[in-house]
Every structure is written in C-alpha cells, then in structure tokens.
C-alpha cells in the first residue's frame, strides 16, 4: 500500500469511524489546533503543500499560516508560495481573523456571512496570491486524507479559474 492508502485507512479507523459512533466523545470532535499545539494540523499542512509543490516553480514551495477565529471554533489556513530558501516556522498568527475574512470578501464572487461558514463547515478560496481554507476546529476536518482531497479540489479550482472564459462555458 502507498502512503495515501495508508492515511485513508488510518483516518477512517482512528477518526471517522469513532466519530460516527461517538460524535461528541471521539478524536474527530477534539480541537485540531490548541493554544500552542499545531501537531495535528501540521500533518495536514505538510501534505497539502507537498501536493501543490509539483505545480510551482523549481525555486518555490507552498507554505501555510494558521489563523484561529470565532472563539477558537474555526481555523483558517492561508497557503502561499514562497522561496525555498526563506526561513519558515509554522505558528498561529494572533489577531488575524478579521484580515482573513477581509481577504476572502475581496475574492469571493458572492458575499459570505459568518453563519454560512459555520453551517457549511468549510470554505475554499483560491486567488492569484494564495489559498485560504476555513473549517471548524475539529480534527475530523483536518486529516491527512482530507489534505490530499482539499489540495486536489483547490488545484482543480485554480485550473478552471485560469482557463479562458469561452472554454469554461462549453
């Protein structure tokens, strides 16, 4: 089995299935990002970035920054391309939730209310300057297998957005 298959099985057995039987008392319901604990979401970010790196220039790599909002109930990860040689340290950015929502507001084709985020559970925004993903701060939304799915979804979204408009209408 390859790593993707192993991660899918691991995520199902350790997160998804226990959450199905114990939705309030399982690993999947626990916070993905604690006060200073990024260990869970770091795996997600590394896998997401690895998937995107194949589409970047040879001297660039994808990086992520973590933002916490809505009384620690929501997590946003902002992905951006950076030079490989630049120093990088993954940490939670303080007091940045408002700035993230402003960035999203500039890019989305239609307005997005905060209640919409909470109901839907996640938001994917892909722009020329980067990618922002917002999900509830629960481990079941930030698994290794979902990192691959989210990377593929955002890659496809970027491909569609960069296609000439006349080809998209067919």
On the question of pLDDT at 17 being above 90, the answer is yes
Q: Is residue 80 part of a domain?
A: yes
| % pLDDT > 90, the chain | 56
d(CA 1, CA 9): 10
Can you tell me the mean pLDDT for 130-141? 93
Residues paired with 62 in a beta bridge = 81
Count: domains in the chain: 1
Can you tell me the mean pLDDT for 7-13? 96
Of the listed ranges 13-27, 57-71, 87-101, the least confidently predicted one is 87-101
Q: Is residue 38 part of a domain?
A: yes
Of the listed ranges 16-30, 47-61, 118-132, the least confidently predicted one is 118-132
Q: Is residue 15 part of a domain?
A: no
Q: Which domain holds residue 71?
A: 32-160
d(CA 19, CA 12): 9
Single out the residue of 93, 80, 78 nearest to residue 133, CA to CA. 78
Whether residue 62 contacts residue 48, with contact meaning beta carbons closer than 8 Å, is answered with: yes
Q: Is residue 50 part of a domain?
A: yes
pLDDT of residue 119: 47
Can you tell me the mean pLDDT for 22-32? 93
């Amino acid at each position: 089995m390859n790593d993707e298959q192993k991660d899918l099985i691991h995520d199902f057995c350790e997160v998804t299935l226990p959450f199905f039987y114990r939705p309030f008392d399982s690993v999947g319901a626990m916070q993905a990002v604690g006060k200073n604990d990024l260990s869970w979401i770091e795996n997600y970010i590394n896998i997401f970035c690895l998937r995107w790196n194949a589409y970047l220039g040879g001297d660039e790599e994808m990086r992520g920054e973590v933002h916490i909002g809505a009384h620690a109930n929501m997590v946003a990860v902002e992905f951006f391309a950076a030079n490989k040689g630049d120093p990088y340290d993954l940490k939670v950015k303080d007091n940045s939730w408002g700035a993230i929502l402003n960035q999203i507001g500039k890019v989305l084709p239609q307005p997005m209310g905060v209640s919409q985020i909470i109901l839907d559970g996640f938001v994917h925004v892909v722009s020329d300057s980067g990618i922002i993903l917002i999900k509830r701060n629960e481990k079941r939304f930030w698994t290794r297998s979902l990192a691959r799915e989210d990377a593929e979804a955002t890659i496809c979204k970027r491909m569609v957005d960069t296609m000439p408009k006349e080809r998209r209408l067919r």
